[in-house]
């Protein structure tokens, strides 16, 4: 079995009709229920549920507090290479974009690691563009070996790998995996990924499952909001997370909801996801899966991020750069996307404290 089969169950579902048949009573009932099912989750993403966003916020806040406490986990990404063989219409690293391509040497990786680690951060997310030539598995493993000296938890966000390759990374010290399907709508996916291995929708959608089987402790998935109707994309993200959690009970599943930001290239998002929509998605996830982690990236504005502390988000990035290097190395290459919240780690710490929450730098240590 693969999540793809679950996707097929809902691929031709009439989302509009479903939303139009919802009643206020039904929505209120769902918000108050202790455990909700897939369609009830879908109803929370509807325009009708939008009317009850304050109730959803209250419940989301309560559940997040119960299951996570007054904490926010902090991490930062490190881009070690931006070589890419794919032609993804919406991405700054698109092979047809004329940008400076760069790959860090291992010494440079160490320089970056040292600076990042000095800010207190202990959880790092390692990213590369998709290029088996430039960012080979061996190169990634070498980077991990260096990062292990400075960080207690290393996650990777790279191109889809084979299960054995994920196992190798787990053995090398990687405990977390992030992969965004970008867009779950298979047709739209085909239109946005013009060339390159990333064109293979199935291979990508099954990657999180391969990571779970390989023993990754945390698995983070998501869709890039804006590429297709956000209600559907959030829905598929949610049931994908549920599928993984049910099948791999010992993995820690989390979701991200990156919203499209201006980037290099002429692509404009098909759908606008406004702040209220965005927040509704967070609440719907929290009510559907009370223990799922929800990550908020620096794509979002500072004030907006501030307001979301305590409402459902459990993990935030800080002091981010989406350029290759970008912390120690001064040679600027273009970032994958423009960052909105450019605050450094100290400032994010202060923000979190000001909300009565505790920033957590180190969640665990692999021994």
Partner 1 sequence: MQDKLTIGGIELGSRLLLGTGKFPSNAIIPQVIKSSGAKVITVALRRIDFDSEDENILKHIPKDCILMPNTSGARNADEAVRIARIARAAGCGNWIKIEVISDNKYLLPDNFETIRATEILAKEGFTVLPYMSPDLMTARRLKDAGASAVMPLGAPIGTNKGLRTRELVKILIDEIDLPIIVDAGLGRPSEAAEAMELGAAAVLVNTAIATSDDPISMGEAFGLAVLAGRKAFLSGAGAVKDFAEASSPLTGFLGT
Q: Which stretch binds partner 1 (CB under 8 A): 15-23, 54-62, 66-74, 127-135?
A: 54-62
Residue 101 binds partner 1, judged by CB under 8 A: no
Q: Which stretch binds partner 1 (CB under 8 A): 24-32, 133-141, 231-239, 355-363?
A: 24-32
Residue 65 binds partner 1, judged by CB under 8 A: no
Residue 286 binds partner 1, judged by CB under 8 A: no
Residue 296 binds partner 1, judged by CB under 8 A: no
Residue 39 binds partner 1, judged by CB under 8 A: no
If the CB atoms of residues 273 and 345 are measured against partner 1, the closer one turns out to be: 273
Residue 25 binds partner 1, judged by CB under 8 A: yes
In order of 110, 158, 280, 296, the CA distances from 285 in angstroms are: 37, 25, 9, 13
Q: Which of 6, 11, 48, 61 binds partner 1 (CB under 8 A)?
A: 61
Residue count at the site for partner 1 (CB under 8 A)? 21
Q: Show contacts with partner 1 in window 310-329 (CB under 8 A).
A: 311
In order of 7, 9, 62, 156, the CA distances from 73 in angstroms are: 31, 35, 18, 17
Q: Which of 54, 107, 138, 330 binds partner 1 (CB under 8 A)?
A: 54
Residue 5 binds partner 1, judged by CB under 8 A: no
Residues that bind partner 1 (CB under 8 A): 25, 28-29, 31-33, 35, 53-55, 57-59, 61, 275-276, 279, 303-304, 307, 311
């Amino acid at each position: 079995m693969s999540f793809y089969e679950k996707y097929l169950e809902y691929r031709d579902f009439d989302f509009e009709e479903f939303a139009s048949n919802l009643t206020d009573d039904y929505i209120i009932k769902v918000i108050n229920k202790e455990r909700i099912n897939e369609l009830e989750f879908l109803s929370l993403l509807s325009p009708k549920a939008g009317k009850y966003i304050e109730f959803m916020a209250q419940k989301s806040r309560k559940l997040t507090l119960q299951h996570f406490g007054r904490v926010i986990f902090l991490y930062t990404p490190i881009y070690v290479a931006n070589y890419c063989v794919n032609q993804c219409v919406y991405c700054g690293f698109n092979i047809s974009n004329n940008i400076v391509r760069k790959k860090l040497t291992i010494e440079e990786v160490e320089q970056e690691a040292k600076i990042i680690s000095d800010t207190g951060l202990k959880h790092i997310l390692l990213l590369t563009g998709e290029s088996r030539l430039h960012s080979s598995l061996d190169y990634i493993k070498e980077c991990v070996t260096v990062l292990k000296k400075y960080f207690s938890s290393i996650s990777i966000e790279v191109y889809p790998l084979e299960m054995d390759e994920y196992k190798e990374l787990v053995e090398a010290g990687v405990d977390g995996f992030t992969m965004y399907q970008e867009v779950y709508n298979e047709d739209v996916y085909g239109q946005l990924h013009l060339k390159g291995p990333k064109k293979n929708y199935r291979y990508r959608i099954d990657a999180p499952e391969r990571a779970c089987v390989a023993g990754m402790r945390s698995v983070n998935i998501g869709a890039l909001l804006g590429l297709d109707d956000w209600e559907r994309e959030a829905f598929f993200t949610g049931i994908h997370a549920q599928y993984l959690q049910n099948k791999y009970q010992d993995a820690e599943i989390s979701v991200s909801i990156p919203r499209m930001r201006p980037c290099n290239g002429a692509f404009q998002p098909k759908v606008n996801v406004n702040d209220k929509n965005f927040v509704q998605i967070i609440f719907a996830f929290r009510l559907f899966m009370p223990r799922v982690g929800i990550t908020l990236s620096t794509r979002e504005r500072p004030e907006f991020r501030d307001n979301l502390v305590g409402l459902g988000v459990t993990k935030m990035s800080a002091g981010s750069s989406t350029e290759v290097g970008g912390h120690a190395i001064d040679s600027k290459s273009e970032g994958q996307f423009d960052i909105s919240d450019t605050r450094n780690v100290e400032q994010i710490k202060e923000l979190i404290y000001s909300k009565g929450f505790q920033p957590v730098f180190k969640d665990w240590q692999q021994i």
